[in-house]
Structure 1
Amino acid sequence: MTALLLELSPEVDAALKAGTAIVALESTIITHGMPYPANLETAKAVEGEIRAKGATPATIAVIEGRIKVGLTGEELDILAQAKDVVKASSRDLAVAMVKKQWAGTTVSCTMRIAELAGIRVFATGGVGGVHRGAEETFDISADLTELGRTEVAVVCAGVKSLLDIPKTLEVLETQRVPVVAYGTDHFPAFFARESGMMADHRLDAAADIAAMIKAHAEIKAGTGILVANPVPEADALSPTEIDGIIDAAVAEAAEKGIGRKALTPFLLSAINQASEGRSLKANIALVLNNARLAADIAVALAA
């Protein structure tokens, strides 16, 4: 199946055959999450952090309809600057393949491909969740459904506070997804270290998280695991400040009728502008921080 569906880079192929540590990486953070050239610089820095920890990075994307697991430097360059790249969730993957599109893969899509490839640890910025007003719009990210059925551990900085975090955590509980906070009792909120919600579980060592991933697989739980890693304190925004900025951005999006796939990229851009670039700085810092933790977990798991 892997040989027919996926194109593995030589580096990823060798790591899979050797059973060494690999960390999957999504590509919508490159195509839709950050402006150029910050997106390209961040993508290369993230891969560098993972290699420095002794693991192999596997950035995942769809290129001309081919599912690529591990990108070349040239492919990263093109992806970072391309204007006609689609944003592919799990449901969009087959269409992107048939239409031979370039696509950035979301959390749900990256999880699906990582599981097909046999990669068990995935680092991202933040996962999608239940949008504000979902009781009327039913706008709930496919990331949560994927976490409920795909056995990949996702290391993230929690959930963006532009979402409804309490409802997101309720859906994760319904989906039977363990939520583990790394080194804290609080569930983080992406730009901020605390969301006001307590985490269900706390683990303080990458080796303990790796042991949990192994045990979770052995009991055939059949779900992913969400590992919430707070943004570094030096780069965090205060909850009060970021919540005010987000409220204004959400109101602007509603006024302009922006929703569905276009909503999150619009909000991130508006938040970055209103925070005078500090939200982008925090975003880059937390992605690098998640990559380092994911690599430590993957190394421990491989051992």
Structure 2
Amino acid sequence: MKAFNQFLEITPEVQEALKNNKPVVALESTIISHGMPYPDNVVMAKKVEQIIREEGAIPATIAIMDGKIKIGLSDQDLETLAKSKHAIKVSRRDLASVIALKQLGATTVASTMICAEMAGIKFFVTGGIGGVHKGYEQTLDVSADLEELGQTDVTVICAGAKAILDLPRTMEYLETKGVSVVGYQTEVLPAFYTRTSDIKLHLHVENVQDLAKIVHAKDQLKLKGGLLVANPIPEKDSLDGDYMNDIINRAVKDSVKDQIEGKDVTPYLLKKIVEETQGKSLEANLALVYNNAKVGALLAKAYMALQK
């Protein structure tokens, strides 16, 4: 467990797990506040934590509340976050101000990685990472998630980058930053709502034991930065790629027409996609998050077994 930080508030359960080298899995909170409507978001958050527990690990959902980085949330905390219309989407640039001003903040992939590393948590489950946005030539819009993966030592389990993004450029950016992307039971990058894409991965493994060995070797080599595990949505929940690409492209055009910019782009697009798919994309989003939670817990457990 890492040294005390005055801004960290870690639940006794998570503290005990970290102290005794038990598997712990961090969870973001932007998916709760900005990714899904209430009460679906609370149901999702509690089920993800339950899945992680069932697989033998301890969940640690992270958010900013009352001037503290909370590592592990109570049911009341989850309700507060899920119902709030004023929760701030917190990335690296926002952390200090939201803490100092005691605002309610939901952590993105980037800030969850930072907070997890502060607490000594090595594994983090999310839905999909951010990346290079479509229309980059005009907007220069690149998610801070990619920079964080290049410098923060946390393993992130996801269903690929969000399908609203420019996936080839996102992968190129990660390669430039030296981030290893490992496919779990897939040779291609999953595209969030769908299992496949045209992007071939340089490395894939078939079991969590091999994933754990890679993370362990990276630690022993003292290589800085994160590692990205690309875990495809289950086949039964995967949506048709052409169908989703058509909807996504229309949503992107609408975002330009409506002059949506910066960190408002992703929530806008996801909401549009849910509406256009009549809720199918939300169902797929839930399925992939639950699947990632299971793999993340199994990986954390396999990694801790290597430490004994």
Q: For this structure pair, what is the TM-score category when the shorter chain's length is used for normalisation?
A: over 0.9
- The residue type equivalent to 2:208 in the other structure is A
Tell me if structure 2 keeps the 8 A contact 1:60–1:110.
yes
Structural mapping, 1:64-213, within 5 Å = 64-213=66-215
Specify the alignment match of 2:217 in structure 1.
215
Contact 1:186–1:198 (CA<8 Å) still a contact in 2?
yes
Q: How far apart in 1 are the matches of 2:72 and 2:40?
A: 20
The CA distance in 1 between the partners of 2:115 and 2:196, in whole Å, is 31
3-state SS of paired residue (1:110): helix
Shift of 1:278: 0.4
- Residue in structure 1 matched with residue 47 of structure 2 by the alignment: 45
Q: Distance in 1 between matches of 2:291 and 2:131?
A: 21
Report the counterpart of residue 296 of structure 2 in structure 1.
Answer: 294
Unaligned runs of 5+ in 2: none
Give distance in 2, aligned partners of 1:3 and 1:138.
35
Whichever residue aligns with residue 186 of structure 2, its letter is: T
Q: State the alpha-carbon separation in 2 of the partners of residues 191 and 266 from structure 1.
A: 17
Q: CA deviation at 1:134?
A: 1.2
RMSD: 0.8
- Please state how far the C-alpha of 1:2 moved relative to its aligned partner: 3.0
Instruction: Please report how far the alpha carbon of residue 162 of structure 1 lies from its aligned counterpart in structure 2 after TM superposition.
Output: 1.1
Identical counterparts, % of pairs = 49
Counterpart amino acid of 1:296? L
Unaligned ranges ≥5, structure 1: none
Contact 2:7 2:67 in 1 (8 A): no
Consecutive aligned runs of 4 or more in structure 1 exceeding 4 Å deviation: none
1:10 equivalent to 2:47? Answer no
Q: TM-score, normalised by structure 2?
A: 0.97
Query: Scaled by the length of structure 1, what TM-score is found?
Result: 0.99
- Matched length: 303
Deviation, 1:200, is 1.8
**Secondary structure of residue in 1 paired with 2:70:** strand
Distance 1:205 1:234 in 2: 20
Asked if structure 2 preserves the Cα contact closer than 8 Å seen for 1:161 and 1:195, the reply is no
Q: Aligned-pair distance for 1:161? A: 2.1
1:123–1:156: 8 Å Cα contact kept in structure 2? yes
Does the CA contact (< 8 Å) of 1:156 and 1:290 recur in 2?
A: yes
Q: 2:283 matched to which residue of 1?
A: 281
Q: How many angstroms apart in 2 are the aligned matches of 1:250 and 1:196?
A: 21
Provide the C-alpha distance between the structure 2 equivalents of 1:128 and 1:93, rounded to a whole number of angstroms: 18
